[in-house]
Amino acid sequence: MTLDEIEAFVAVVRSESLSHAAERLELTQPAVTRRIQNFEEALGVALLDRSTKPMRTTPTGRAVYDQCRAIVREIDVLRQLVNDGAPLAGVLRVGVAQTVADIAMLDALQSLRHAHPGLQARVSTGWGAPLLQKVEDGELDAAVVLLPANRALSETLVAESLSSLKLAVVAQKGLLKRRVWTLGECQSHGWVLNPDGCGFRAGLQHALAAQGHALKLNFETLGTELQLGLVADGVGLGVVPYPLVVASAHADLLDIVQVSDFKPEITVRIVRSRAIGKMESAIAVLAQSIAQSFKSAKLARAA
């Protein structure tokens, strides 16, 4: 077996497609197929179930993949060490929660370009759990996610807390009287929320369930500004980070509702693999800029 065969196998499993793996490796699809076949012959086992679409690993193939992705990570580190004296170049793959992207990523990417002009950032957005899995699988170099303070991570990952983030319950201006409400009282108006997978929605749903209430979902949408626009139109209540409420084009049409028994707060964390190599300095630039953006957002709110 060869390293080329191992890298081809890892690429196919990650892509769930021979054609996509070939594009990633800059090879023809027949060349990738030959490498996978040679790898299977060297091990004497079938690694891929070719009867399924998308292509999946066999049970043995999954165990082999777990070992192979660790090998590929270590090889990447070795390659970076060899070029230790050269400026950072290539692609930095970063996953970002949409809320973080809205508040901090423009400044963070500008800081990264200034510090490492030869490095290209490839940014994707998504929910926290899938992004963490992609970091663990080696598909992303790092992810900036929103997590409860007590959330434990895999031993293969390193996390740094960048900020805490308070959430606000928001309503159409004038819809609710200016007093302190309970979550149960708010529930009767219904909610405008992100789809399943959103940590804000999960936290609200958990708090309601603890009080014996089922979530009353009036509208499901993706994107904070659209969510706030719908709340401003009276479609329902929302749960949104304070900085985004203040910065919204709909801010003048919204009220922040004081809720006595629901005061959610989450942490903003940047998570990376332990075997990140030279990219650690680039990730540090992103972390510093994101932390500063959230600090500035808090100061603006206090003012």
Residue 270 CA to residue 153 CA, distance in Å, equals 12
Q: What is the pLDDT of residue 285?
A: 94
Q: What is the pLDDT of residue 283?
A: 93
Positions of CATH 1.10.10.10 in the chain:
3-82
- Annotate 213-282 with DSSP letters as a single string: ----EEEE-SSHHHHHHHHHTTS-BEEEEHHHHHHSTTGGGEEEEEETT---EEEEEEEEES--TTHHHH
CB 78 within 8 A of CB 276: no
Positions of CATH 3.40.190.290 in the chain:
165-265
| 32-46, 138-152, 209-223: range with lowest mean pLDDT | 138-152
Residue 193 CA to residue 269 CA, distance in Å, equals 23
Q: So what's the architecture of 90-160+275-302 in CATH?
A: 3-Layer(aba) Sandwich (3.40)
Residue 297 CA to residue 288 CA, distance in Å, equals 14
What DSSP character marks residue 195? Answer: P
The closest alpha carbon to 274, from 192, 158, 184, belongs to 158
Q: What is the pLDDT of residue 197?
A: 76
Q: What is the pLDDT of residue 299?
A: 56
Other C-beta atoms within 10 Å of 109: how many? 17
Residue 187 CA to residue 205 CA, distance in Å, equals 11
Q: Please tell me the number of Cα atoms within 13 Å of 176 on its side-chain side.
A: 27
If pLDDT is split at 50, 70 and 90, which confidence band does 69 have? confident
When pLDDT is averaged across residues 62-66 and rounded to a whole number, the result is 89
Six-digit token pair at 29?
């699809």
Show Cβ contacts of residue 114 under 8 Å, excluding neighbours closer than 6 positions. none
Model confidence at 113: pLDDT above 90: yes
Which class would CATH give 165-265?
alpha beta
Q: What is the pLDDT of residue 102?
A: 86
SS3 of 142-185 = EEEEEECCCCCCCCCEEEEEEEEEEEEEEEECCCCCCCEECHHH
The closest alpha carbon to 132, from 164, 157, 110, belongs to 157
Long-range contacts made by residues 193-196, C-beta under 8 angstroms, separation at least 24? Answer: 193/217, 193/219, 193/220, 193/221, 193/227, 193/238, 193/239, 194/220, 194/221, 194/222, 194/227, 195/220, 195/222
Relative to beta strand 48-49, strand 56-57 is antiparallel
> Average pLDDT over the chain, rounded to whole?
87
Q: What is the pLDDT of residue 301?
A: 54
Q: What is the pLDDT of residue 85?
A: 58
Task: Indicate the CATH number of 3-82 among 3.30.70.2740, 1.10.1740.10, 1.10.10.10, 3.90.79.10.
Answer: 1.10.10.10
Radius of gyration of the chain from Cα atoms? 23
* pTM confidence score: 0.65
Q: What is the pLDDT of residue 164?
A: 86
CB 97 within 8 A of CB 127: yes
The closest alpha carbon to 286, from 115, 124, 151, belongs to 115
If pLDDT is split at 50, 70 and 90, which confidence band does 77 have? low
When pLDDT is averaged across residues 223-250 and rounded to a whole number, the result is 92
Q: What is the pLDDT of residues 150-163, one digit of tens each?
A: 677 888 788 999 99
